[in-house]
Chain A
């Protein structure tokens, strides 16, 4: 279970997150929507301390951390229990697809080579890339790279995977293959927090939808509640505009 309590974050003097409270149960798929600059990505990056919140409490499984006095060891502990999929994939460029997945298993989980290899092959097969194992990122399409990114995250067997706009940098015809992998993970009960602009994904797959604006969570509920019984005027505006672009 993931729990955020009263998270606050500012860059210099600009508040980018205020009063964030969020609980994500095991197996839940939470999507975070909102205009750019609303703090969605920052929120996600606060969970694994790629950004350090100025205030608040973060719980990942049994780890409960007070953000003000987080230690280096605690940050590493949280990161060992979470994984992240990035907008620009961020595959290790000096490593093949296989080595990208193996890296964490060898270095962080300290598995022996044979075991790490087996696991990595398994997860690459799961995202449909068993035949691209020995390719370097520079030789893969965006969609393939992102699927390797997902395999790398899965291999760590995290309690939650954080997706930071996983399809935003992809060519339109490659979005589908990545979403398909994400949908199957959701079906298998993987806990996921997904920052996205894919409204259809949010509607179909999410168990919970959050709408953020100006560093605040201004609406949250089931997809039906947020999309069809929208309460806030700001959310309505946003959804209207996105819909117009979609059609």
Chain B
């Protein structure tokens, strides 16, 4: 009888999968970077209730959290080229739509999606900081921005970090959707390899293990970071 899975084959495909791990990490890091910026801006806009911008941010958040990520990816993939085409025809923007690599649409969709979730985390973290911290900063003549940057953000980071970690881990796993618009990351590579010899089960076990290992590394790193940014809380009894 044939064994339930072919270990020999599994080992042989590990290098093939590892080859595209950088694509997965690339999507994660680039999207996370821009998502933090989007999340921070939309959080601040809502905290300070800036007219118009605040409503736009709320609608954006509601949409991103109320529609499936896969739909958002398709919207970006099919929608952005249409909009650019339109701009090309009517405003003479010289953009070669076909020259844009698919991964750019992935960056776009993931940035906006993750940005929405981060926005809530960041808002909650900033609002968890005693408002006296900002008052103290203002009272010695600092500007609001200086107070945010030097006093509020470092403290809010300590609050938000565990939740940030979760978001990164979700994002890593969600990158597996990128193959839906033909970006070959780990999941895409797995499908290709699996189809070659119709050994899907083996391929997916390998992929699952690699995702797992990456997520464990991220988890550990976040825990270590947490200790560092919470340094100022040492000596506190709770």
Evaluate contact between A92 and B151: CB separation under 8 angstroms: yes
Q: Are B141 and A94 in contact, with the CB atoms below 8 A?
A: no
Assuming the contacts A95-B232, A138-B232, A138-B235, asked whether A104 and B140 have C-beta atoms less than 8 A apart, the reply is yes
28 contacts between A and B (CB under 8 A): A48-B138, A50-B138, A76-B141, A76-B143, A79-B140, A82-B139, A86-B132, A86-B135, A86-B136, A90-B130, A90-B133, A92-B133, A92-B136, A92-B150, A93-B133, A94-B155, A103-B142, A104-B142, A107-B146, A107-B150, A108-B140, A108-B142, A108-B146, A136-B231, A136-B232, A136-B233, A138-B234, A156-B141
Q: Please, which residues of chain A bring their CB within 8 A of the CB of B146?
A: 107-108
Cβ distance A231 to chain B, nearest Cβ, rounded Å: 34
Pick the most buried of B135, B150, B232: most chain A CB atoms within 10 A of its CB. B232
Residue B236 CB within 8 A of the other chain: yes
- A107 contacts across to B, CB distance below 8 A: 142, 146, 150
Given contacts A76-B141, A92-B133, 19 further A-B contacts (CB under 8 A): A50-B135, A50-B139, A76-B143, A80-B141, A83-B139, A84-B136, A86-B136, A86-B139, A90-B132, A92-B150, A95-B151, A103-B142, A104-B140, A104-B142, A108-B140, A138-B233, A138-B236, A156-B140, A156-B141
Q: How far is the CA of A27 from the CA of B135 in the complex (A)?
A: 25
- Judged by a CB distance under 8 angstroms, whether B154 is at the interface is yes
CB-CB under 8 A for A108 and B141, given A90-B136, A91-B136: yes
Question: Which residue, of B140, B150, B151, B154, has the highest number of chain A Cβ atoms within 10 A?
Answer: B140
Is chain B's binding surface mostly helix, strand, loop or mixed? helix
B137 and A92: CB pair below 8 A? yes
Beyond A88-B132, A103-B150, A107-B150, whether A93 also contacts B232 by CB under 8 A is yes
Q: Within 8 Å CB of A104, what residues of B?
A: 140-142
Cross-chain contact A152 with B140 (CB below 8 angstroms) = yes
- Report Cα–Cα, A33/B207, bound state, in Å: 71
Hey, which bits of chain B sit against chain A, CB under 8 A? Answer: 130, 132-133, 135-143, 146, 150-151, 154-155, 158, 231-236
Chain B residues, CB < 8 A from A80: 140-141
Counting chain A CB atoms within 10 Å of each CB, the highest count among B139, B150, B235 belongs to B139
Residue among B135, B154, B155, B158 with max Cβ neighbours from chain A (10 Å): B135
Most B-side CB within 10 Å, residue of A48, A92, A136, A153: A92
A138 — which chain B residues lie within 8 A by C-beta? 232-236
Q: Which residues of B contact A36 (CB under 8 A)?
A: none
**Minimum Cβ distance to chain A for residue B48 (Å):** 14
Q: Which residue of A lies closest to B135 (CB)?
A: A50
Tell me the bound Cα distance from A152 to B135 in angstroms.
14
B203 → A minimal CB distance (Å): 47
A229 CB–B CB distance under 8 Å: no
Distance between Cα atoms of A77 and B173 in the complex (Å):
51
Q: Does A184 contact B (CB under 8 A)?
A: no
In the complex, the chain B residue whose C-beta lies closest to that of A104 is B140
What chain B residues lie within 8 Å of A108 (beta carbons)? 140-142, 146
Nearest CB of A to B50, in Å = 15
Instruction: Find chain B residues with CB under 8 A from A94 CB.
Output: 151, 154-155, 158, 232
